[in-house]
């Protein structure tokens, strides 16, 4: 962002609101130049304008500029530091089983934002569409594709034995790969594997079966990839 426009946002953040004259004063610029930058910020939905009558003033109400909610994204946040601290506190004060249970419960709460009854009526490809869109809204940058049985060696897929799933594929059943190409909390999950477990449970809840993760961002993969079998409704909750 242009340095002057960033300065305008910072002034409005500190003061709450300001007129063109006040901004020009703070920036040591002429008002017409300030208005040019304000027009751009308003077009980007970073500021809004209101008319108010300042106490003690006469004449027409003045235009005052304020930040929009979207503008808050342009200021530093320490969510990752806070989240990492909270996870550390959990792990220091609770036994491992309770920590895992807490993250599993959180995953199920997140999955509950999608109506289970509605998802259950969808075909697997339709459900994968809904799941990928939902995860992308959550910052996971998700996509899915059809999988071929010939592309997998069951002996190399970890977490659970997959004999039933691969038998299903050989008998005409389908399988899908769900890729999440971004980890919304990578700075935290790199130190705390419980977040990877949370994602595993979240995806399993959303697809309606106990899916298997066959690639992991935390282990150097290009995505976290989950193998989902068609017509394998295994309840995980």
Domains and CATH numbers, the chain: 3-74 (1.10.10.10), 96-229 (no CATH)
Q: Both tokens of residue 35?
A: 């208005």
pLDDT at residue 62, as a whole number: 82
From CA 36, how far away is CA 4, in angstroms rounded? 11
Q: Is the pLDDT of residue 233 over 50?
A: no
Q: Own/partner pairs for 211-220, CB < 8 Å, 24+ apart?
A: 211/178, 212/157, 212/158, 212/159, 212/160, 212/162, 212/165, 213/158, 213/159, 214/152, 214/157, 214/158, 214/177, 217/180, 217/183, 217/186, 218/183, 218/189, 218/190, 218/193
From CA 156, how far away is CA 187, in angstroms rounded? 28
pTM of the predicted model as reported, rounded to 2 decimal places: 0.66
Split at pLDDT 50, 70, 90, the class of 28 is: very high
Q: Is the pLDDT of residue 156 over 50?
A: no
Helix, strand, or coil (residue 66) = strand
pLDDT at residue 163, as a whole number: 36
Q: Is the pLDDT of residue 43 over 70?
A: yes
Q: Which of 31-35, 94-98, 193-197, 231-235 has the lowest mean pLDDT?
A: 231-235
């Amino acid at each position: 962002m242009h340095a002057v426009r960033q300065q305008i946002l910072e002034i409005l953040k500190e003061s709450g609101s300001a007129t063109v004259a006040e901004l020009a004063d703070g920036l040591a610029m002429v008002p017409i130049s300030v208005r040019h930058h304000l027009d751009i910020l308003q077009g980007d939905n970073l500021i809004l304008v209101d008319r108010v009558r300042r106490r003690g003033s006469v004449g027409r109400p003045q235009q005052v500029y304020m930040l929009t909610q979207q503008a808050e994204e342009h200021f530093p946040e320490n969510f990752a530091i806070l989240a990492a601290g909270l996870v550390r506190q959990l792990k220091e004060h609770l036994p491992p089983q309770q920590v895992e249970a807490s993250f599993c419960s959180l995953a199920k709460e997140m999955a509950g934002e999608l109506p289970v009854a509605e998802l259950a009526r969808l075909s697997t490809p339709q459900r994968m569409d809904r799941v990928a869109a939902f995860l992308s809204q959550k910052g996971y940058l998700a996509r899915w594709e059809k999988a071929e049985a010939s592309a997998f060696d069951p002996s190399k897929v970890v977490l659970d034995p997959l004999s039933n799933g691969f038998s299903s594929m050989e008998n005409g059943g389908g399988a899908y790969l769900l890729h999440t190409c971004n980890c919304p909390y990578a700075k935290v999950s790199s130190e705390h594997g419980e977040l990877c477990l949370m994602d595993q449970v979240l995806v399993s809840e959303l697809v309606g079966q106990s899916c298997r993760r066959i690639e992991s961002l935390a282990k150097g993969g290009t995505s976290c990839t989950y193998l989902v079998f068609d017509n394998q409704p295994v309840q995980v909750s």
